[in-house]
Structure 1
């Protein structure tokens, strides 16, 4: 296939240049009815590309022309048998895979720190989770990827599992032994699904860790908008091999994706694929140069610790994406939250995320040297500010094991009520509580609040740690099922 082509983009461009009368949706009619303030910033061209399923532009839900060709080019580039454009993000791709593989009561092995879209997939499919907890990397309190032995033991214990899910790379750029996990899954006849949201760029440069599809995964979902150059909310789903029925995946996507898909998002996927095919290695070589420069400068600042390959060594941490800069100032008495706040407020540097231990800054194909200078300068100035004593990573990384009573679907369908946290012992949780670090839920919907879980929740509330999930972020109350 000719990777110089961009069939969907070329069809959209042809339509825009045709100057045809638009007596169809969307109602703004090529930008005619768009607020002038919006057009001043965005320009008119983007609205002219906001089209629908008119002749020549194909249909995402039944592709047979330019969208089909664009998806085939994506499959060819990424080494997949079949690829799908996603305009509802990676989330809908993960949900579609779960729905296509697991029916009511079907078991699926998932990491405890899986993206919340996995929980949505479990609810919609009626599947039952078999959890595994990734190891925590000492010094940074961040999670690593799946370990082959861990997955092997679970598959031996649960012979009726329908699929295994892994996260690779992690938010911190850590990649585990996906090839080893894939080999074990193939021996068990169980498909391996990889949430590769942060790894759409890995295939295009030899300095990056091996991508999941090349490592033997049966299905991979990538957030192309994160590291591949497409627009926010656009992603790709890839299938390889015969373990997963493509027709069921396509049917699930028809249920989950909008019947009015954005041609702007799809065009950005088509062009991002072409750009990576033609220029990916050169663009990423520049990104890696910036990364190496940043790493050298940051490591020269006293008290600053940077996650590097030398920090790895666990079975679930074999490789590191060097363009992820995980920076810790705990030795200087600053949490990641404080560091991120200082960078934003004083130096105008916005990082991707922060947890107790670190910040994560992402360098991409769109990063510039001046951006890196701002980051390094900001960290350097923060490092000399008066601060407190060195901080240790809290013991929240050691959590009680979950006790699942109801499936996520059953929990979703049950009524709940808010209850004082102190009164929740022995009750069934109706929501998720996750602490950062390490990002693993302490308790999830349908899980029993045991004595050890309650003691843990009371402790993190007393310490004031940052949590995600519950409606009441103070943890004074928790939703329990009745």
Structure 2
């Protein structure tokens, strides 16, 4: 890829040329550069609507790129240290699914941590691959799932030498990283691919002193959520591949599920954001780290909160920690993370990323200001003063070991009947139950429902967690096999 110029943004440049040419549109979309929908144009802006366009020769085609999108892919691959980079406009969920389906067919095994995002298990439902779950470590004082220990992955590989791939979270939602380089070595020695869910790890490729990125660790594929910490529009991501993967085959897999009408708003946002990170990523993420470390220190001074960090690496299931993640344990002030989440939004006008039963997560980015951080810190101080209470009765963990009885595909498509969740213990689930965000299933298709899970779901509902996954919108009933 020598000779590529990271100051270029081919898709963005082509869209500007298209707009300057004042083309008369007799193609889709039907709003015709915004003229057909004045209210939408007023809301989003004429400049935006003028480049919400369809694939055409000067703008290339996402399904089979040969010009400007192809050039933008090559620039992205160089910036991320990958052999190839695919533009994804169906969200990182689509990239995760493409990774799994590129490596596994029906009946083939994949080794993965159970605290994966629902998109990975959705891929198993679609393609019929068989999960071999590695239970993550658990930090008991925080109640959160961690990474996979190298020893546990080694045992899984030895017990299932026919597995095709190992999937690793890099990092988890909370910022925890497994020893990806060691896992890559073990998997490759056994002839298995390594897939990294880097939905929350874009900055690993550009910042200094951060955990190792998947491509640098030698992984075969990585799903990178540019919109989370890289600055692009929501739903836009990259799928990165190493030299072991066939570009043509992976594109065929992506095209099974990705739209044929790729949004040029999303594509150009990826192109512009890649250029920005390639040119300025180091200073951008230096600032993010500095902001996050400052907020962490100030929150810990309040007392009662635990804004945790690299001290977690004392645990064998934590090889590194992403210090840009402002993860805060709240249970010691007698409040669930979701309760702090709600109070921050409703009483203080502050929207954080998520709250679970014991923790909350605030995403820190280059778009933040010192004033915004001070508002968050002072709000948490007031919340402690006003709402703190005894923590007796709070649920003390987020992760429940699964009892897998059937493959996700077999259970999802099996004959099912609805049962009240309160009466479902002992039955096999035919659907998901999860809190979103973060979208990690409490229960996945094919897993046996236990009394502990029933208790967890009832408690999460009572605390105000946003539960999803069941056919029943009220989450009162669950479809069982």
* Equivalence map 1:187-226=2 (5 Å): 187-226=189-228
Give the match for residue 388 of structure 1.
Answer: 389
Q: Go from structure 1 to structure 2 and tell me whether the alpha carbon gap of 1:395 and 1:331 turns closer, same or farther (over 3 Å shift).
A: closer
Distance 1:425 1:34 in 2: 52
- Aligned-pair distance for 1:231? 0.3
Distance 1:31 1:438 in 2: 35
Distance 2:399 2:228 in 1: 30
Give the match for residue 452 of structure 2.
Answer: 456
Distance 2:304 2:257 in 1: 48
Distance 2:373 2:260 in 1: 41
- Aligned-pair distance for 1:438? 10
Task: List runs of 5+ in structure 2 lacking aligned partners.
Answer: none
Per-residue displacement from partner, 1:81-114 (whole Å, max 9, x unpaired)? 0110000011111111222221121111121121
Distance 2:162 2:48 in 1: 49
Q: Go from structure 1 to structure 2 and tell me whether the alpha carbon gap of 1:234 and 1:334 turns closer, same or farther (over 3 Å shift).
A: same
Is the 1:396–1:438 contact (alpha carbons within 8 Å) kept by the matching residues of 2? no
SS in 2 for 1:161: coil
Distance 1:69 1:398 in 2: 43
Is the 1:100–1:249 contact (alpha carbons within 8 Å) kept by the matching residues of 2? yes
Is the 1:202–1:209 contact (alpha carbons within 8 Å) kept by the matching residues of 2? yes
Is the 2:118–2:439 contact (alpha carbons within 8 Å) kept by the matching residues of 1? no
Q: Go from structure 1 to structure 2 and tell me whether the alpha carbon gap of 1:14 and 1:97 turns closer, same or farther (over 3 Å shift).
A: same
Distance 2:99 2:457 in 1: 36
Is the 2:358–2:396 contact (alpha carbons within 8 Å) kept by the matching residues of 1? no
Q: Go from structure 1 to structure 2 and tell me whether the alpha carbon gap of 1:141 and 1:198 turns closer, same or farther (over 3 Å shift).
A: same
Per-residue displacement from partner, 1:318-374 (whole Å, max 9, x unpaired)? 222222111223222122122111111121111000011111001012111121111
Distance 2:23 2:438 in 1: 55
SS in 2 for 1:384: helix
Mapped pair 1:145 → 2:141 = no
Q: Go from structure 1 to structure 2 and tell me whether the alpha carbon gap of 1:428 and 1:17 turns closer, same or farther (over 3 Å shift).
A: same
Distance 1:32 1:399 in 2: 53
| TM-score in terms of structure 2 length | 0.93
Is the 2:208–2:286 contact (alpha carbons within 8 Å) kept by the matching residues of 1? no
Mapped pair 1:309 → 2:310 = yes
Mapped pair 1:44 → 2:40 = no
1:76 to 57, 75, 78: 78
Distance 2:358 2:424 in 1: 30
Distance 1:401 1:359 in 2: 24
Distance 2:71 2:438 in 1: 42
* Equivalence map 1:9-158=2 (5 Å): 9-36=12-39, 38-158=40-160
Is the 1:75–1:238 contact (alpha carbons within 8 Å) kept by the matching residues of 2? yes
Distance 2:312 2:265 in 1: 41
Give the match for residue 418 of structure 2.
Answer: 418
* Equivalence map 1:217-256=2 (5 Å): 217-242=219-244, 244-256=245-257
Per-residue displacement from partner, 1:268-302 (whole Å, max 9, x unpaired)? 00000000011111122222222222122212112
Alpha-carbon RMSD across the aligned residues, in angstroms, is: 2.2
SS in 1 for 2:217: coil
Distance 1:286 1:225 in 2: 18
SS in 1 for 2:35: coil
Distance 1:393 1:439 in 2: 21
Q: Go from structure 1 to structure 2 and tell me whether the alpha carbon gap of 1:437 and 1:233 turns closer, same or farther (over 3 Å shift).
A: closer
SS in 2 for 1:385: helix
Per-residue displacement from partner, 1:247-276 (whole Å, max 9, x unpaired)? 221101111111111011000000000000
Task: Tell me whether 412-421 or 231-240 shows the greater mean CA deviation.
Answer: 412-421
Mapped pair 1:344 → 2:345 = yes
Q: Go from structure 1 to structure 2 and tell me whether the alpha carbon gap of 1:397 and 1:357 turns closer, same or farther (over 3 Å shift).
A: closer
Give the match for residue 446 of structure 2.
Answer: 446
SS in 1 for 2:92: helix
Distance 2:208 2:242 in 1: 22
- Aligned-pair distance for 1:469? 3.3
Distance 1:391 1:471 in 2: 34
Give the match for residue 409 of structure 1.
Answer: 409
Distance 1:410 1:356 in 2: 31
Give the match for residue 328 of structure 2.
Answer: 327
Distance 1:155 1:472 in 2: 38
- Aligned-pair distance for 1:424? 4.0
Distance 2:69 2:431 in 1: 39
Is the 1:140–1:393 contact (alpha carbons within 8 Å) kept by the matching residues of 2? no
Give the match for residue 2 of structure 1.
Answer: 5
Q: Go from structure 1 to structure 2 and tell me whether the alpha carbon gap of 1:434 and 1:203 turns closer, same or farther (over 3 Å shift).
A: same
Q: Go from structure 1 to structure 2 and tell me whether the alpha carbon gap of 1:283 and 1:403 turns closer, same or farther (over 3 Å shift).
A: closer
Distance 2:399 2:233 in 1: 38
- Aligned-pair distance for 1:171? 0.6
Task: List runs of 5+ in structure 1 lacking aligned partners.
Answer: none
Is the 2:400–2:453 contact (alpha carbons within 8 Å) kept by the matching residues of 1? no
Distance 1:120 1:437 in 2: 16
Is the 1:330–1:391 contact (alpha carbons within 8 Å) kept by the matching residues of 2? no
Task: Tell me whether 373-382 or 228-237 shows the greater mean CA deviation.
Answer: 373-382
Count of matched residue positions in the alignment of Structure 1 and Structure 2: 474
- Aligned-pair distance for 1:57? 0.7
